Structure 1
Amino acid sequence: MKIKLLFFFIVTLISLSANAQTEVADQPAGLEGLISSRTAQRKNPDAKMDGYHILIIFDENRSKAEAIRNKFIAEFSNKYDADVIWDEPNFKVYVGVFKTKLEAQELLNLVKDNYPTAILVKDKLKFPKI
């Protein structure tokens, strides 16, 4: 009986040691540089990403553009960013910052009733604040 018990423990120990991981996965060449450049990009306040926003109106009159911006903010309770940008010769009101076209399309469908001239715009956008 003692021999069987001893044999059982030896087999168990051998099987446990056989399952131990001995190899370490190496990172592919250049991965560390890619990670550090991505981190630096995210920390740079001027970094931009591909994304979408919605142009709800453009007009020559700044006060009209700002009034429409304020109206949009009131309607959507500050849920989306809204900015008035001077792009000669017009002031443009952009709303939302979206990574995917699908997300932007959802907002476009909501605003089309009140802003029929609203269009989806692909642009280089600043990273959204977290």
Structure 2
Amino acid sequence: MRADAFLDQVRERGEYGTREEADRASRTVLALLGAHLVGEVRSELAARLPESFSIILLNPLQASEPLSAERFVRATAAWIEGATEKTAAWDVGAVLSVAADAAGEELTRRILLQLPPGYDILFGHPQH
């Protein structure tokens, strides 16, 4: 997927006014996600994202512990200037749902297996 197509999808789902807003949300969310994924799963997702975002995913800050879905949203809010938990949840959902589309069902399932419960909703793939 090309970067402009990825950002256009994030912009549409997040209802952002500019591509820059979509880019900021994408970089923040993918950096935080990269800190929680390991091994082949992280590499495979990176291979399906635009290069500028795959680099962010592959070179994350190190997480000292896995964040629950709720704490992931709070961490996103802390990294985006002016964000609230409500707007950060919107940002996370927009970015992760586009990433899930790029990943496909099988890889998304494997990603969710590496994450604490609750991330399925953030990816737009609620588990029954």
TM-score over 0.5 for the pair: no
Higher helix share: 2
Q: Whose strand proportion is higher, 1 or 2?
A: 1
Return the TM-score normalized by structure 1.
0.29
